[in-house]
Structure 1
Amino acid sequence: MIWPAFVWPVLATTAQAAQCPRSGTLGTSRILTVDAAATPRVGLKSFPQTLPLADHEVVLTFDDGPWLRTTPRVLAALAEQCVHATFFLIGKPASQHPEMVRRIAAEGHTVAHHTWSHRSLKRIKPDAAVQEINHGISAVEVALHGTATTTPTTPFFRFPGFESTPATLDLLQSRGIVVFGADLWASDWNRMTPKQELKLITDRLNAAGKGIILFHDTKAQTAAMLPAFLRYLRDNGYHVVQVAPAEPAAAGRH
């Protein structure tokens, strides 16, 4: 369906998610397709607009993978609850572990981009920033499809540390790539116990009511906390929304 104009401009459509074969699971409630031309940037921590989510809807996102020690644990927790998320992958580990990239995609998750080596694009020269973006995209595409290209299959990107510049934002917009910020996060770059992280993120979610949530699948504490968090979502009336590009970009790969 098309979202009503009073909720959001005509920029996204929804689709039914596949039914989970197991009863009593959280599941993925719907797929929200995002049109890069109409909504080039989302996430209230960085931008004035975000995705058109209803109350108690969340988009789960994970940064910095793949990481062999923890990403499989995150995938297992998501699979147990039939939940689909978005993984913003770094190109260097993606090139080292292409089988994990393909597993993420094969399990139905959205594979997105997070540069080649996680350098701050705000603190390096413009040419180096473009190279970080392109090299990262190409590495993930090679892992997924065996073809080097700077045109991403899924045109979603997140800046390391959310550190963008006007030039890099304009570049990504000109290439039809949606920049994802976040609406709330678990602060899992700080050391804490899984129990502490669970309380922090549930408190923040209850205050916000909905939103794009940022985790890191490279963090052991997050991998340990995630099953309890998904059960919390299930038991407290939250619904998981998966994001996908409005139109497949694969046809334009070169």
Structure 2
Amino acid sequence: MRNVSNGTRSKRHALALLVAITVAPISLITSARAADCPREDALGTSRVLEVDPATYPRVGLKSFPQTLPLQDHEIVLTFDDGPTPGRTDQVLEALAAECVRATFFMVGRNATDHPDMVRKVARLGHTVGYHSWDHPHLNKPSTDEAEANIDRGIAAVDKALHGTASTTPKTLFFRFPYFESTPELLDVLEKRGIAVFGADFWASDWVKMTPEEELKLLTARLEAHRKGIILLHDPQQRTDDMLPAFLRYLREHEYRIVHIVPAAAKVVSDRTH
């Protein structure tokens, strides 16, 4: 592990504050540079970004023309399809070792089966978003049927996390399974004030490969993009095994982690039909 001098850490902290001022139009941004992290040389979380769905209703260049206003060498880590006991635990351990916070887009059925895991993710400071009830192709059924599946997933995750089920989400972040949206569903979610997340690039961790091959693929894409929202899957064992090495790579190459949270004091409407 590399040693980081106090002077270097001070300069990076100052840079994080400067970046926060630069991108402030998205909302209030605060420094979160490992203030409570026991390891001084950890990657840490550089800053927290409050994302307002009114300004950023859909983000991720793989699906949409717009993404989050990240600076060079800033990345957002996101994980889909959990929670899965054991495998999600492994991801959480790797993130905790580097004092990094991420966003987990959870499948409602999995949240119902493992509510303790949902609460663990939130308790450790990560953001919990939604990924439908059972990960279907939401561009196939009618808009009402697809929205019902989305709402069932929202209710299941919030039931596990907060003890009450509602189709009014506590967190305003949703990701379509397979990124398969429709114009009608995008319009519905935008009207409800729910931000839709795509990704800027991914590790293709659904493809059979070794953790070493995944790391090589992901770091090559990272160097090509230099910033962005990264999609990973916590139920994928190859990703769980690869993650500690990837976080070390980020630290050694001076990438910065941005933790996304919903903008404060936003009210989301329930279904209107």
Larger Rg: 2
What's the secondary structure of 1:206's corresponding residue? helix
Aligned residue number for residue 176 of structure 2: 159
Q: Which residue of 2 aligns with 1:188?
A: 205
- How far does the alpha carbon of each residue in 1:14-33 deviate from its partner, in whole angstroms, 9 at most, with x for none? 11115122111000000010
* Change in 2 beyond 3 A, CA 1:3/1:165: farther
In structure 1, how many angstroms separate the alpha carbons of the residues matched to 2:203 and 2:25? 31
More helix by share: 2
Secondary structure at the aligned position of 1:15 is classed as strand
Determine the C-alpha separation between the residues in 2 that align with 1:105 and 1:248: 19
Matches within 5 A, 1:1-254: 10-17=25-32, 19=35, 20-248=37-265
CA RMSD of aligned residues (A): 2.2
The 1:9/1:24 distance shift into structure 2, 3 A limit, reads: closer
Alignment TM-score, normalising by the size of structure 1: 0.94
Change (3 A) 1:252 1:3: farther
Unaligned runs of 5+ in 1: none
Q: Cα 1:22–1:10, aligned 2, differ >3 Å: closer, same or farther? A: same
Q: How far off its partner does 1:12 sit? A: 3.1
Shift of 1:2: 11
Give, in whole Å, the separation in 2 of the partners of 1:119 and 1:92: 12
> How much has 1:153 moved relative to structure 2?
1.1
**Number of corresponding residues:** 253
Task: Give 4+ residue runs of structure 1 displaced > 4 Å after superposition.
Answer: 1-5, 248-253
Percentage identity across paired residues of the two chains: 57
Q: Counterpart of 1:240 in 2: which secondary structure? A: strand
Query: Residue 169 of structure 2 contacts residue 268 of structure 2 at CA under 8 Å; is this kept in 1?
Result: no
Distance, in Å, in 1 between the alignment partners of 2:122 and 2:229 is 20
2:12 is matched with none
